[in-house]
Structure 1
Amino acid sequence: MNKRLLLVHAHPDDESIGQGATMARYVAEGVGVTLVTCTGGEMGEILVPELAHLAADQEDGLGEHRRGELANAMKALGVTDHRYLGGFGRYRDSGMQWHPDGHAVAADDVHANAFWNADLTEAATLLVEVVREVRPQVLVTYDEFGGYGHPDHIQAHRVATYAVALAAVPSYRPDLGEAHDVAKVYWGAMSADKVREGLRALRDAGDTTTFEGMEPDGDLPAFMVPDAVLTAAIEATDFAAAKTEALRAHRTQIAVDGPFFALSNNQGANIWGTEYFRIAKGHPGPVGESGLEDDLFAGLG
């Protein structure tokens, strides 16, 4: 089987955080890996002081800069087929704000061209064209909450889900290519058990300030899901370094030595080199030693 994997993400950097090691592993194995990014990430916060002038309320050049960051990240992972939905600039980053409950919601002021405002059928049809061209057996995107509530993540979930359905209908837009049914769809996730292990190691080491307010036995963010609902664990620790390099490429958005990655310092590649998934369409295949699928293509002929 000529294996093909399609990932649908909202902004440059989401792919490297969520599935960077998986992408690198599959590229190394000869799998066709295609990334579709839905926006340019124009509204992201900028962590590099000397690039602050690129902010949306100043020169508004962050999207173009992040375009270069994404290209460098894909070089680190070995991915040669990466695209923007409808072409770069078709949809703008919608921005977000934090809800008092701790999750993201749409900003009060959203650009007219924001992805959050996209017509669902129009955006899904743009992805249908990619699905029918690439013909992936497996597609990866977010869950219905977008992991943590970001409107662009939620919209990416909606667009990917609708596109998978439309792409399989022979009478829908036959001009876009022969119908194709994606066999398996996964939602990216993080293992709550692994995160709790990391938090426990931090606390046992006397670190009470990193992830302050999060405790090993307390509530976790929504994207850290109970292990009982996980379907697949892709062990790609040999590619953790490639993932780290990709993350470093997204320097305006990610501080690899910052608090978010503190778990990595304590748990090594166990946190960032093994990536987890929940199946949303199709049937799980045979499981590995972990009790989960160890290959997203498991069970496919």
Structure 2
Amino acid sequence: MPETAASPAEAPAQRMLLVHAHPDDESIGQGATMAKYVAEGRGVTLVTCTAGEMGEILVPELEHLAADREDGLGEHRRGELAAAMAALGVTDHRFLGGFGRYRDSGMQWHEAGHAIAADTIHDNAFWHADLTEAATLLVEVLREVRPQVVVTYDEFGGYGHPDHIQAHRVAMYAVQLAAVPSYRRDLGEAWDVPKVYWGAMSESRLREGLRRLRAAGDTTTFEGMDPDGPLPHFVTKDEDLTAAVDAMDFVDAKMAALAAHATQITTDGPFFALSNNVGSEAWGVEFYRLAKGTPGPAGPDGLETDLFAGL
């Protein structure tokens, strides 16, 4: 359930809902956009599908929380998420079906460089969730919030994590079901989300950032990535991008949110290194692909500058 949520009569006129797999995914992908829209008085709702129980723990004194020890990481990351949302100003953040309904599925790395499902998966893992059941839980939220914009991952979940892929499937199916008047009338009046976006990383922007890092003598940040060579699966060709939200005034809020996810992200890791070496433009402009709806007016570079453009 949300920490706090406005009643329908008090809801902002423009509303965005994001569907993410684990705590920290939202801050990495859209933290600056979220902070910007909150500051502009727009509604921002975050739905997180798991508590990230299987995440790697980067804080040595908290290693006892690991899944194969005390298994307390999910509850701890619940607090990290609350702190991150406070940094971004987001007051409506929920876990799909309530905290603990679905468990982090875990992952392993394939030799091709992308994530795949782990060999052993918990019975309650999100990857094993019934698609209609999980989507219906999200339908209820969609019909309550009635967002004009929904943001989630692409069909590969960015880099192949099974929970990211499942979040994509659940979000896309829920958007369809929520628009059907005769589907689960008990969950509220039908709502057809006008625009759905998939979060993206600009290929040209990442290559330029890598070039500047290497020119500055930094060979460890995103080690192994060649500015002129093959890039990871989460990178999107610029020709496939639809929108670029300039939220550079909110980079500090984004970095504070990332820092709040201390078990997953270190302040001397690649996210902070890129920000320190390349500057606010590294994380202050966030990119999107339009998956549903009609593009609105574009800026000089041919990209929308606002996810609500045209609405």
TM superposition score category, shorter chain reference: over 0.9
Q: Does 1:30 align with 2:37?
A: no
SS in 1 for 2:268: coil
Q: Match of 2:161?
A: 150
Instruction: Select which of 11, 14, 35 maps to 1:3.
Output: 14
Question: TM-score scaled by structure 2?
Answer: 0.95
Q: For 1:156 and 1:227, how far apart are their aligned partners in 2?
A: 24
Encode CA deviations 1:74-96: one digit per residue, 9 max, x unaligned. 00000000000000000000000
Q: Does 1:87 align with 2:98?
A: yes
Report if the CA contact (8 A) 2:135-2:173 is conserved.
yes
Q: Match of 1:44?
A: 55
Report if the CA contact (8 A) 2:221-2:269 is conserved.
no
Q: Match of 1:272?
A: 283
SS in 2 for 1:285: coil
Q: For 1:182 and 1:259, how far apart are their aligned partners in 2?
A: 35
Q: For 2:260 and 2:33, how far apart are their aligned partners in 1?
A: 17
| Residue correspondence of structure 1 range 1-301 to structure 2 within 5 A | 2-300=13-311
Q: For 2:219 and 2:257, how far apart are their aligned partners in 1?
A: 29
SS in 1 for 2:259: helix
SS in 2 for 1:102: coil
Q: For 1:260 and 1:91, how far apart are their aligned partners in 2?
A: 28
Report if the CA contact (8 A) 2:255-2:272 is conserved.
no
Q: For 1:267 and 1:246, how far apart are their aligned partners in 2?
A: 19
Deviation of the 1:291 alpha carbon = 2.1
- Give the % identical residues: 79
Encode CA deviations 1:12-44: one digit per residue, 9 max, x unaligned. 000000000000000000001000000010000
The amino acid across from 2:76 in the alignment is H
Q: For 2:53 and 2:168, how far apart are their aligned partners in 1?
A: 19
Q: For 1:218 and 1:97, how far apart are their aligned partners in 2?
A: 24
Q: For 2:202 and 2:135, how far apart are their aligned partners in 1?
A: 29
Report if the CA contact (8 A) 2:221-2:274 is conserved.
no
Report if the CA contact (8 A) 1:4-1:137 is conserved.
yes
Tell me which stretches of 4 or more aligned residues in structure 1 moved more than 6 Å. none
Q: For 1:144 and 1:27, how far apart are their aligned partners in 2?
A: 27
RMSD, aligned α-carbons: 1.0
Report if the CA contact (8 A) 1:195-1:263 is conserved.
no
Question: TM-score scaled by structure 1?
Answer: 0.98
SS in 1 for 2:186: helix
The amino acid across from 2:256 in the alignment is E
The amino acid across from 1:268 in the alignment is G
Structure 1 unaligned residues grouped into runs of 5+:
none
Q: For 1:157 and 1:256, how far apart are their aligned partners in 2?
A: 29
SS in 2 for 1:45: coil
SS in 1 for 2:124: coil
